[in-house]
């Protein structure tokens, strides 16, 4: 256990950041799982409603990833890589 005042504060800050980081990481993972399920649903029946859902999910995922990168939860290159993979999956499936 820390004895110095600044070390105690550092422990508190670390615990707070752990909770925030966990929130960002888990929401991104959850959204990515929903996105993959939506991609599979779209491949089965290509309708406009599922396509619009995919576009909305992409927007939401991009937003969360960018916020996480801004707050230093994700490294900027990891964020770019994830966004690239998401767009790659989206381009693979098409409405036609």
CA 7 to chain centre: 32
pLDDT at 58 over 80: yes
Residue 46 pLDDT: 86
Kindly report, residue by residue over 9-57, the tens digit of the pLDDT: 999 999 999 999 999 999 999 999 999 999 999 988 888 888 899 999 9
Residue of 61, 67, 59 lying closest to 21 (CA atoms): 67
Output the six-digit token pair for 23.
Answer: 């929130």
| Assigned superfamily of 5-92 | Ribosomal protein S20 (1.20.58.110)
Q: For 37, which DSSP code?
A: H
The Cα 48–Cα 82 span in angstroms is 25
Residue 65 pLDDT: 97
pLDDT at 96 over 70: no
Contacts of 76 (CB under 8 A, 6+ apart): 69
């Amino acid at each position: 256990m820390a004895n110095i005042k600044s070390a105690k504060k550092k422990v508190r800050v670390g615990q707070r950041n752990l909770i925030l980081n966990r929130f960002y990481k888990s929401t991104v993972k959850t959204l990515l799982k929903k996105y993959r399920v939506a991609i599979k649903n779209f491949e089965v029946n290509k309708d406009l409603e599922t396509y619009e859902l995919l576009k909305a999910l992409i927007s939401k995922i991009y937003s969360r990833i960018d916020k996480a990168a801004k707050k230093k939860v994700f490294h900027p290159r990891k964020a770019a890589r994830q966004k690239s993979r998401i767009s790659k999956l989206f381009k693979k499936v098409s409405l036609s």
